[in-house]
Amino acid sequence: MNYGKKSVSRKRNSLISRTAMMGKRAHVSFIRVLFAVLITICVVVGCVGIGAFRGIIDNAPDVNDIDISPLGYATFLYDGDGNQLRKLTAPSSNRLPVSIDQIPVDLQHAVVAIEDERFYEHNGIDVRGILRAFVKNITSGNLSEGASTITQQLLKNNVFTNWTKESTWLERFTRKIQEQYLAVEVEKKINNKDVILENYLNTINLGAGTYGVQAAARKYFNKDVWDLNLSESATLAGITQNPTQFNPIEHPEENAKRRKEVLDHMIAQGYITQAQYDEVLNDDVYSRIQAAQIENSETENTVYSYFEDELIDQVINDLMNIKGYTRTQAQNLVYSGGLSIYTTQDSAIQKILDEEYADPSNYPDYVQYALDYALTVKNPQGEEVNYSKEMLELYFQNEDPEFDLLFDSQEEGQSYVDRYKESILADGSTVVAERVSFAPQPQSSMSVIDQHTGYVKAIIGGRGEKTASLTLNRATDTTRQPGSTFKILSTYAPALNEKGMTLATTFEDEPYNYPDGSPVNNASRSYNGTTTIRKAIQNSINVVAVKCLEEVTPELGLQYLDNFGFTTLAHGTEADRDADGTVWTDANLPLALGGLTNGVTNIELCAAYAAIANSGNYIEPLYYTKILDHNGNVLIEKTSAGRSVIKESTAWLLTSAMEDVVTQGTGTACQLDNMTVAGKTGTTDAYNDLWFVGYTPYYTCAVWSGFDNNEKLPEDARNFHKNLWKKVMTRIHEGLPDKDFDMPASVEKLSVCAETGLLPRAGCPIITEYFDIGDVPTDECDQHFYGYSDYDNSDMTEYTTEEGIYNSDGTQTDNTDDNTGDNTGDNTGDNTGDNTGDNTGDNTGDNTDNTGDNTGGNDGGDNGGDNGDNTGGDDGGDSSGGDAEE
């Protein structure tokens, strides 16, 4: 360096020159500005960060509003005796809550040791854990290490439920900040580690569709959580990190490695001893897990029963209509709301139905199979196209116009499916989804109701194996024509209840036409002349039913059917208008014979007859009595509130007539050896639908049979439904005392003229009948006198006929007691021998004709003169030609 005088002078001048001074000042100013900018930026960033942080915190859920309890619990169904029927779960709600004191300490320690070792020390977040995870993630180059505490995980699962849908770093960061903030706040608010741990252990996903430690204990070990040992507890604790990878059923080796990690943590943290550690490692816990799966598979039935199908529909609808939930909310509540639903099902009765419907001997030997088919394909253009069973049927009808969807074997049906699918896929389409099922035919359904409570005790919606839940239920979903079972409900009930008619009211059974000129045919294709309503019910006579409804009026009959609980009837409103303008209505004369627009369901028909059995009081069919929420509070409670449809006397009179149906009419095949029965048969004109609805003093049961595609039942398949009814009801009533239907005080017994239903006079064929006390006849018969209607005997004090000695006013002076009731004593004429005992009521007065034509099963005089040609005790009209829409 030059230190000469000139050099030093130049250096000094440069330092003190104006230019130099200005440069230095500019440099200093720049530095100052830069520093100020940096400070400003830091302040701004800090403020923004603080603001953003505050915004994130401010947008977090209010700690006072959040609920850390699990969101999904299993719902349980219980039968009428309180026994568990079914556990209902959604995919993420197979959860059975337990309290912390029911969870083994070893299991608590195992989970804490592997998941959050400082759980009992931190305030919701683990600062040491966060620093450790940060360092490890930086040094390893990935972000796989986490530091969430049990409290944070609980919040993530039960509060931040949409975390699995986060797609950006900002969303994850925001949720993580809120999660940590709330973890601290929750710990402050609850101030109880056991409460937090309890909720966590009831929340966690433990694989195989189980959530919470109790569900997992049941699944893996077939035992309750409180019975788990240390080895089993460590096994469950090892699942939580990855429920799929560490599933001990599917991946026992991976779970064993993880279980060892759990044990390592437990011994390091002082929860177990070395001896316990060694013992667990030598325990073959995985063999026990596999054995438990075999036990579970033998007891678990994942397919809902027909009763459970209908119950679930009823509960969902009630949650919507009574509690105001949307359908989605109601479904979520049923499958994951932890409800307790107490049903009306009697498991013993349901078992009887299940067993009888599973017995092949209860059906015709010749079995056909009905195809149900659906196919979805993706065509070469990428479009999805759907194909149905109806399209398959049309496809093959081009080859054979007689082709239907009934096959002699499932293999035959499958061959047609394969051919049809092959033709669809020929253009390069690919299968997206396909459903193939075969139902044995003919089919049947049955329902049983306790008429006194309205409780549905059992239902079955079809024969054959039920392979899926929430499928076709023929007892509750399918509408079929009810045939002559409707005569009682649409015609005779209103006739007796408010039209002044009685069981002794007579109609002429003769050729008769509907208003349009079409004939009303009896099933027997014959006519019986003057016929009482009792006899018309007993022998299911169509002409009498139609004439009776004509007087009742179809409009009134339809009103009664509404009161009897039917919901599928056509009332002639705008909603019933067809495309061509026709308004469909069931208010017409075929209503008497069950000729309907849509038909009725089995359960509604059963409930209508249950109303008659219940003294005329209708109760809507009940499938459950109450629903409790997850906390045990009553959510919905059902009561057997009914409404009076017909008078008690009317109900008893109809019951009396329907007892005759079973003892000597069209329903003799349904007699029970151990119980009194009343009931009615029903057969449509082409034998498409066959019914029997009957009741005892205890239960009402309806059975239907027919083909799903509404084909005609062959002759050898027209009685199996009655055999089913008899077998089921016989078993149901085993051990129950037989008793009569209680006759009310409003019913009176009286002898009347068999042809007019009026008080008898000389020459009247006399029957004994029951009447409502308000409908007891007061007028005398004006058609018979001394055997001749025009004979004047008014000045005679008494006269004698074949029936006995009468006063001039028509009252009988001798043999009165003998000729009514049991008809014992001096009953002269041809009716000798078997008239004692059983010949009540109908056999008085007209006993002279009771020999000769009345052959076969009619014992003595039970069937009276009116039943002369009824040979052999057959099922009357219903079994010999159809008695409905003719």
CA angle 589, 590, 596 (to 5 degrees): 125
29 closest CA partner among 37, 17, 18, 19: 37
> What is the CATH code for 75-299?
1.10.3810.10
Residue 862 confidence (pLDDT) above 80: no
The one-letter code for the residue type at 239 is I
Q: What average pLDDT does this structure show over 19-36?
A: 63
pLDDT of residue 278: 95
Edge-to-edge strands, sheet with 678-683: 455-460, 443-450, 700-706, 689-695, 678-683
The pTM of this model reads: 0.75
761 closest CA partner among 831, 810, 689: 810
Phi, psi of 9 (to 5 degrees): -65, -45
Residue 740 confidence (pLDDT) above 90: yes
Over its C-alpha atoms, the chain yields an Rg (Å, rounded) of 42
681 closest CA partner among 672, 665, 692: 692
Q: pLDDT digit string (tens) for 597-637?
A: 999 999 999 999 999 999 999 999 999 999 999 889 999 99
Domain boundaries, the chain: 26-59, 75-299, 365-441
CA end-to-end span of the chain: 134
Contacts of 136 (CB under 8 A, 6+ apart): 145
Q: pLDDT digit string (tens) for 172-191?
A: 777 778 778 888 888 888 88
Among the listed ranges 23-37, 372-386, 492-506, 521-535, which one has the minimum average pLDDT value?
23-37
Contacts of 597 (CB under 8 A, 6+ apart): 569, 570, 576, 584, 585, 586
> What are 464's two structure tokens?
């054959």
Q: pLDDT digit string (tens) for 252-308?
A: 999 999 999 999 999 999 999 999 999 999 999 999 999 999 887 766 667 899 999
Q: What average pLDDT does this structure show over 412-430?
A: 96
Q: What average pLDDT does this structure show over 130-148?
A: 62
pLDDT band at 21 (very low <50, low <70, confident <90, very high): low
> Which range, 70-79, 204-213, 557-566, 806-815, has the best average confidence (pLDDT)?
557-566
Q: pLDDT digit string (tens) for 227-242?
A: 999 999 999 999 999 9
311's enclosing H/E stretch is helix 306-321
Look over the chain and give the mean of its residue pLDDT values, rounded to a whole number: 83
In contact, 726 and 347? CB cutoff 8 Å? no
Share of the chain above pLDDT 70, in %: 77
Phi, psi of 238 (to 5 degrees): -75, -10
C-alpha–C-alpha distance, residues 488 and 609, integer Å: 9
pLDDT of residue 858: 35
Phi, psi of 626 (to 5 degrees): -160, 155
C-alpha–C-alpha distance, residues 508 and 506, integer Å: 7
Share of the chain above pLDDT 90, in %: 64
CA angle 880, 881, 883 (to 5 degrees): 110
Q: Which comes out higher in pLDDT, residue 839 or 581?
A: 581
Residue 854 confidence (pLDDT) above 50: no
Neighbours of 76 (CB within 10 A): 18
In contact, 158 and 203? CB cutoff 8 Å? yes
C-alpha–C-alpha distance, residues 422 and 238, integer Å: 50
C-alpha–C-alpha distance, residues 643 and 119, integer Å: 61
pLDDT band at 123 (very low <50, low <70, confident <90, very high): confident
Q: pLDDT digit string (tens) for 469-484?
A: 888 999 999 999 999 9
Q: pLDDT digit string (tens) for 820-853?
A: 334 333 333 333 333 333 333 333 333 333 333 3
C-alpha–C-alpha distance, residues 98 and 201, integer Å: 9
SS3 of 178-199: the string is: HHHHHHHHHHHHHCCHHHHHHH
Is the C-alpha dihedral spanning 353, 355, 361, 367 positive or negative?
positive
Q: pLDDT digit string (tens) for 768-801?
A: 999 999 999 999 998 876 544 444 434 333 333 3
C-alpha–C-alpha distance, residues 554 and 546, integer Å: 10
Among the listed ranges 54-63, 382-391, 415-424, 644-653, which one has the minimum average pLDDT value?
54-63
Q: What average pLDDT does this structure show over 654-674?
A: 97
Q: 447 - beta bridge partners? A: 459, 702
Q: 798 - beta bridge partners? A: 807
pLDDT of residue 183: 81
240 closest CA partner among 316, 333, 353, 154: 154
In terms of Cβ atoms closer than 10 Å to its own Cβ (0-12, 13-18, 19+), residue 830 is exposed
DSSP codes joined into one string, 394-416: HHHHTT-TT--SEESSHHHHHHH
> What are 845's two structure tokens?
């007065």
* Residue count (the chain): 886
C-alpha–C-alpha distance, residues 668 and 863, integer Å: 14
